[in-house]
Structure 1
Amino acid sequence: MGALSLAVACGVLALCLALTGATNPGFVVRITQAGLDYAHQHGIAVLEKELAQVKLQDISGDFRIRHVGKVRYEISRLDLRSFHLPYSRISLVPKVGLQVSISNAFAELDGNWRVKIHFIRDHGSFNLNVENVYIKISLRLGNDGSGKPTISTSDCSTHISKVRVHFSGRFGWLYNLFHGAVESRFRTLLEDKVCKIVVSSVRSELQPYLQTLPVTSRIDAMTGIDYSLVAPPIATAQSLDVGLKGEFFSLSHRSTVPFPPLALTLPPDHDRMVYFGASSYFFNTASFAYHAAGALVFEITDAMIPQGADFHLNTSTFSAFIPQLEKMYPNTPMKLKLSAPSAPFLNIGPEGLALRPVVDIQAYAILPSSSLVPLFLLSLTGNVSAVINVRSGHIVGSLSVGRMKLSLKHSDVGTFQVRTLQSIMNIYASSILLPRVNARLDEGFPLPLPDRIQLSNILVRFHQNFLLLGADVHYQPRG
């Protein structure tokens, strides 16, 4: 094989590896046109303030007038009093990015002038009106090495249709002879300055703000969420889609998730400013991370039994179901250790979110020496459903348990009828274990939001293999 053929083959192989290694997002953020319009309003307000503060350099030059001769002029102390952007819109450019179009903008400017014609000298003030300003800005979207979004100005053009200068002074007829040259200089100067301000504003204001989007969010002492971008944002004709990794991980030991995310396609909804698509992969990595961190282990002791209950966690209570316990360990306190042998996986469908966890329940007798003696090991399976909502920028939820089934995996106290324990295990699960789990779920998990964004008008819908959250946004400026 020749060198060229080998290079081509290697290139094709690299492309194939890149394509097969492409990662589906576990979490998708969709910004609709309504959301872009809202962000655009705030962006234009910032740009308007930036333009109103632009500093213009002094202008000087020579101009020759027929029958008069050479005119020397100086324009100084330029003060841009205002710059207004009354009409603008933001548009999606499929597969490219965003485009901002500003039309009929206008500005007002004051300054001083000085003129010399032979031995004649004069000075005074002037005001300048800039009208029919058209600005077109193209924005390129991407992601950096850390998975944060990036934005830059790929193109900017400014066209000013009309500049009118009004001089005050004794020789008004003379100034009108060369105002065209001055107006042309102002037009060129302002057109160049506007795009420089646009590029600077995107770099100094918009880009740092996008960088406040959290790539990783610490949830608690055990886990975090990876919200890094898996690819640059994708602009379509209807929305801007951002694919995020959407993966929980253990803080103590981050290991590779043993299952891939499925393709996630959001419905064409557009009633809200922003939509979040949380796939089953997103939630199942939470189970995987908490299981890997050893967090899915719970212990129940007699001290945790609700006050007013007419039973205790001891061998006397359990001897009603396992008579031999009272003989082997009379009136001995007990402890139940609940653990998941594997990470519980949930299913998301149009009817909601559900999981069928398997829980091992190891029962111990607590001897006077505080040592533990194993009694029996049960396996509990049950149908669990979930209610999901959004509060204060967090996904919150609560679980409810349906029918549970017990089976005996091992016994150190002889055989007994497991079904007789069903009712008391239901009580332990519903009154002790479930409230603890729901208390953690009520704290919630943070959504990927940049600084000072609040959500309202929340929508929650279930689809096959993903949860769809819709919301309107409100930006809360500092101060």
Structure 2
Amino acid sequence: MGAQSAAVACGTLALCLALSAATNPGFVVRITQAGLDYAHQHGIAVLEKELTKVKVPDISGDFRIRHVGKVHYELSRLDLRSFHLPYSRISLLPSLGLQVSISNAFASVDGNWRVKLYFIRDHGSFDLRVENVYIKINLKLGKDSSGKPTISTSDCSTHISKVWVHFSGKLGWLYNLFYRAVEQRFRKILESKVCDMVANSVHTELQPYAQTLPVTSKIDDMVGIDYALVAPPAATAQSLDVDLKGEFYSLAHRSAVPFSPLPLALPPDHDHMVYFGVSSYFLNTASFAYHTAGALVFEITDSMIPKDVEFHLTTSTFSAFIPELEKMYPNTPMKLRLSTPSPPFLSITPEGLSLRPVVDIQAYAILSSDHLAPLFLLSLTGNVSAVINVSSGHIVGNLTMGRMKLSLKHSDVGTFQVRTLQSMMNIYTSSILLPNLNERLGQGFPLPLPDRIKLHNTIVRFQQDSLMLGADVHYEPRARS
């Protein structure tokens, strides 16, 4: 093997290895049979309306009657008045997609007829009823280059068992002679037209709706969420699973996340229509993205302290614990700048969600509007627990602060006992920092939902390294103008 061939082979092998080492999803959506059945109800209602739009072409032809001669007939102005699909079901086709089976459907058609036999001419109207229509539709599921889901018709078949035609007019014996020819041609045309309309309905109705699933969601001015599909939706024997990237990112500068998602498995629950698997990776990329965007910085000034707190954020207050302060900066307003030296990562266990953030607290004396004097730098560590819920299609949270510990990292005002500041810092964090964080978490982060879908009957369950959200769905059609 030459050097160039070897290089190509090595490159191909590297690419194959890279593709085989597929990244685990950070977020999984599972649609159960109950969810598919609900979607199917609305889809069938749309298909019924679409099938009434089938345009049946005029039918004409000649047939020969023994001992009589050739008869020419024409059927025109064919109008498909109704198409009813009373019995249908949707099934999962493992590794393939979905199948919709429709049985005992029926339709009604009317129109005009005209016949010519030598000098005999007649015309009138007719009513046609199609019964025992069976339709089978296979739907192929995929994803496009942007990570949005795609749906297409991979196979469709229609079979019509019965066609009844009633012709108005006086020459009943003549109509019965060409009835068979009309019935066969009409059945063949309608069977073809139904599948054409099914494919068109999937392309113009179902596919555009599937594309309303948000691939990216802007959370605020700093951070967004990537919900792109990492693989085509996978049909199993009991559910349809959709693997999403599930990653927060900084809008200003998107950088690679320095950690990878663990395998994410949902328990075999099927009581709700839809389940969301949320990995610790997904939540921790939020921390990483906000930290990268410089958003995990918070400043506390005296004006932010609640009125029921008796002390102010000034050097006079702190001089009781740090004697040098009053000498160096007597009765001077102060500012605390809180920041995280690294993204605070959380852990998820069956008992719940928790994190141990490390926060740097830099204290300044405010000498003027543009001049700050550094005083001391503290490090705060603590136990924080979180409550997760679902509200209005958003994951919302609430933090509760546990035990905190302070340590001194640097001082510009001499040495002092840090433990004497413990209660004061507890008040600052619990009455100012925590409410601000919880206000933002209360707004939540949007779940990946297609247009006009609302959730109800939600549940939240914790498991190792992930949490599961279950819900039923309600589709809200657009109001008619």
**What displacement does 1:253 show?**
0.5
SS of the counterpart of 2:38? helix
**What displacement does 1:366 show?**
1.2
**What displacement does 1:327 show?**
1.8
Tell me, which stretches of 5 or more residues in structure 1 are unaligned? Answer: none
The answer to which of 198-207 and 386-395 deviates more is 386-395
1:18 paired residue number: 19
SS of the counterpart of 1:320? coil
SS of the counterpart of 2:266? coil
Residue correspondence of structure 1 range 220-369 to structure 2 within 5 A: 220-368=220-368
2:65 paired residue number: 65
SS of the counterpart of 1:343? coil
Q: 2:56 matched to 1:56?
A: yes
SS of the counterpart of 2:165? strand
**What displacement does 1:9 show?**
7.2
1-structure distance, mates of 2:74, 2:5: 65
2-structure distance, mates of 1:255, 1:4: 35
**What displacement does 1:292 show?**
0.4
Per-residue Cα deviation, 1:197-248 (whole angstroms, up to 9, x for no partner): 0000000000000111111000000000000000101100010000001100
RMSD: 1.5
Count of aligned residue pairs for this structure pair: 478
1:116 paired residue number: 116
Per-residue Cα deviation, 1:367-392 (whole angstroms, up to 9, x for no partner): 25751111110000000011111111
Per-residue Cα deviation, 1:58-87 (whole angstroms, up to 9, x for no partner): 000001111221110000011111100010
2-structure distance, mates of 1:473, 1:369: 53
**What displacement does 1:6 show?**
9.1
Structure 1 residues 14 and 332, CA gap change in structure 2 (3 angstroms) = closer
2:204 paired residue number: 204
Structure 1 residues 224 and 117, CA gap change in structure 2 (3 angstroms) = same
Structure 1 residues 433 and 9, CA gap change in structure 2 (3 angstroms) = closer
SS of the counterpart of 1:133? strand
The residue identity in structure 1 corresponding to 2:167 is: F
2-structure distance, mates of 1:7, 1:290: 41
2-structure distance, mates of 1:62, 1:190: 20
SS of the counterpart of 1:367? strand
1:448 paired residue number: 448
**What displacement does 1:16 show?**
2.3
Tell me, which stretches of 5 or more residues in structure 2 are unaligned? Answer: none
1:219 paired residue number: 219
**What displacement does 1:10 show?**
6.3
Per-residue Cα deviation, 1:274-327 (whole angstroms, up to 9, x for no partner): 001110000000000000000000000001010132100011111111122112
SS of the counterpart of 2:413? coil
Per-residue Cα deviation, 1:243-286 (whole angstroms, up to 9, x for no partner): 00110000100000000111101111100000011100000000
2:433 paired residue number: 433
2-structure distance, mates of 1:181, 1:196: 23
**What displacement does 1:435 show?**
0.5
Structure 1 residues 6 and 300, CA gap change in structure 2 (3 angstroms) = closer
Per-residue Cα deviation, 1:439-468 (whole angstroms, up to 9, x for no partner): 101111010011100000001111111111
**What displacement does 1:17 show?**
2.6
**What displacement does 1:4 show?**
9.9
Residue correspondence of structure 1 range 127-142 to structure 2 within 5 A: 127-142=127-142
**What displacement does 1:135 show?**
0.4
2-structure distance, mates of 1:370, 1:143: 53
Per-residue Cα deviation, 1:325-368 (whole angstroms, up to 9, x for no partner): 11221111111000000000000110111000000000111125
2-structure distance, mates of 1:423, 1:149: 53
1-structure distance, mates of 2:403, 2:275: 34
2:396 paired residue number: 396
2-structure distance, mates of 1:202, 1:240: 18
1:29 paired residue number: 29
Q: Which runs of 4+ in 1 moved over 2 A?
A: 1-17
SS of the counterpart of 1:140? strand
2-structure distance, mates of 1:196, 1:54: 9
Per-residue Cα deviation, 1:137-182 (whole angstroms, up to 9, x for no partner): 0000000000000000000000111111111111001111110110
